[in-house]
Amino acid sequence: MTALHTGGCRCGQVRFEASADPHHISYCHCADCRKATGAPVSAFVGFREDEVSFEGKTPKTYDNGPVSRGFCANCGSPLFYVDRRLEGRVYFMLGAMDHPGYYKPTLHAYVREQLPFLHMPDNLPRHLKTSVPRPNDGTEE
């Protein structure tokens, strides 16, 4: 199925849409996502960059190494990240999508950084580190 996937920040100044279905939906338990969002676990919906378009205000970005995270300059909502090592892909915060219930994650990433009191009883694959191999990253899993 190909649908139009839409989302945006809390105040509505930043809007985005994707014209094709996501290639990736996951939870991430890493400490960097935790700091960036303030939430104990994050979830992302990944699209190809060339199928994504933005409307309204340009999001602000904050870089940490190869990862650049976008957020609304007005309301501060975390919106997405891009990773220089994953060219052409953009990962939106699942909660930034207009219909978050549509995007059921298919795996957990970075469970070695998962908070000890957080229990998510599902049967999804659990990756100790990243679920998407980066070039020059021989440490996957």
Applying CB under 5 A, the residues found at the interface with Zn ion are 9, 11, 13, 28, 30, 33, 72, 74-75
Q: Shortest Cβ distance from residue 77 to Zn ion (Å)?
A: 5
Q: Shortest Cβ distance from residue 66 to Zn ion (Å)?
A: 13
Rounded Cα distance between 56 and 68, Å, is 20
Cβ(109)–Cβ(116) under 8 Å?
Answer: no
Using the minimum distance from each CB to Zn ion, give the nearer residue, 18 or 109: 109
Using the minimum distance from each CB to Zn ion, give the nearer residue, 7 or 47: 7
Cβ(46)–Cβ(89) under 8 Å?
Answer: yes
In one-letter notation, the amino acid at residue 127 is H
* 15 CB-side CA count, 13 A: 8
Q: Shortest Cβ distance from residue 62 to Zn ion (Å)?
A: 14
Using the minimum distance from each CB to Zn ion, give the nearer residue, 68 or 74: 74
